[in-house]
Amino acid sequence: MSRASRGGVNRARRDGLARRRRSRGGMGNNAGSDVKAAYLFIAPAIIGFTVFVVYPLIRSFYLSLTRYNGLSDPVFVGLGNFRRLFTVDPAFWPSLRATAYLVVLYVPLSLILGLALAMFCNQRFAGVRLVRTLAYLPVVLPVVATITLWKFILNPQVGLLNTVLDRLGLPTSLWLQSPTMAMPSIVLVMLWGVGGTMIIFLAALQAVPTELYEAARVDGAGARSMFVRITLPMISPIMLLQVILQTTAALQTFNQPKILTNGGPGFSTNVLMLAIYNNGFSNLGRVPQLGYASAQVWVLFVVIIAVIALTAKFSSLWTYSDNTPD
């Protein structure tokens, strides 16, 4: 090959390398600009999460280690609030028992009633849309106004419920004024808003393939067998979701006990959220105990995380998944 030919080949190679470097540089610049744009778009969410979630968590944990009334500077006391909570406060263990009692009563009943309503509303009959609307309507009604109306209904002297029971010749009750009936009465009021649970179950039921039911009918399966062997397994992931949502909501119940009983009679309905409120936002004449209330908040937070973790850990024992290993 002549010197001129070799020179031409070398120039072509140099030009090719230069073009590839420019191409890689352009791709790198484009990738860098895309990353910057991505961070720019998610910045508001990150800032909001940091300001409204991360900072309050850190701040509340710090306050749980202090004696703080919201007016003077916090005084560090270490684990003093937690020692007082578990060993000195006479209201803590009753409030924890009341919260557990509420969860045990409310969660199974809300799941059973919500699923029953969903299965009823999943049928085809005239007026089914109206029934669905009426079942969901309590969810969108004003919460405080609805609870206040229920407080009048459950009044043992002039309440509508006792009046109807008395007219029918059935035994009446003290309802909210009875230590044994106060919590079931609160659960009854909470079940008034079971329409939200019903809607989620209804969506799950409508997502079950109809081919499964048709094949089961051909094999001679009855309604009960199809419910146990098809419906429940297919909606079990949604059931898991509902268990977690309803349990978390029950552990944080506040409006119903506050308006209906204010924690009474005695400590029978003094759930943990109400105890936190009473300590953190005391009535006039009492000094708020925001540090102590923050310690109670962290106890409740740990309880919620533990319940969710245990539920998720054992969910594989009763939830169905069509993702089989290779």
DSSP secondary structure of 251-265: HT--HHHHHHTTT-S
pLDDT at position 259 over 50:
yes
Residue 249's pLDDT band (boundaries 50, 70, 90)? very high
- Measuring CA to CA, how many Å separate 259 from each of 95, 161, 262, 306? 17, 18, 6, 29
6-20, 173-187, 222-236, 238-252: lowest mean pLDDT where? 6-20
pLDDT of residue 149: 95
pLDDT at position 245 over 90:
yes
Mapped onto helix, strand or coil, the DSSP state of residue 271 is coil
Q: Which amino acid is present at 259? A: I
Q: Taking Cα atoms as reference points, which of 295, 290, 271, 266 lies closest to residue 279?
A: 290
Residue 268's pLDDT band (boundaries 50, 70, 90)? very high
CA distance 166 to 177: 18
Q: For 272-313, what is each residue's pLDDT tens digit?
A: 999 999 998 876 567 889 999 999 999 999 999 999 999 989
pLDDT of residue 323: 58
DSSP string, 122-185: TS--TTHHHHHHHHHHHHHS-HHHHHHHHHHHT-TTT-HHHHHHHHTT-----GGGSTTTHHHH
> Structure tokens of 178?
């009875």
- Measuring CA to CA, how many Å separate 271 from each of 106, 155, 311? 13, 21, 22
pLDDT of residue 285: 64
Q: For 18-27, what is each residue's pLDDT tens digit?
A: 565 555 555 5
pLDDT at position 210 over 80:
yes
Output the pTM of the full model. Answer: 0.84
pLDDT of residue 22: 56
Q: For 70-79, what is each residue's pLDDT tens digit?
A: 888 999 999 9
pLDDT of residue 324: 47
pLDDT at position 32 over 90:
no
Using the structure block, give the residue that is written with the tokens 């029971």.
Answer: 165
Q: Taking Cα atoms as reference points, which of 67, 82, 58 lies closest to residue 291?
A: 67
2-6, 120-124, 164-168, 266-270: lowest mean pLDDT where? 2-6
pLDDT of residue 326: 43
Q: Taking Cα atoms as reference points, which of 190, 202, 194 lies closest to residue 136?
A: 194
pLDDT at position 325 over 70:
no
- Are 140 and 133 within 8 A, CB to CB? no
E-assigned strand segments in the chain: 66-67, 75-76
- Are 118 and 201 within 8 A, CB to CB? yes
- Measuring CA to CA, how many Å separate 1 from each of 10, 11, 13, 218? 12, 15, 16, 83
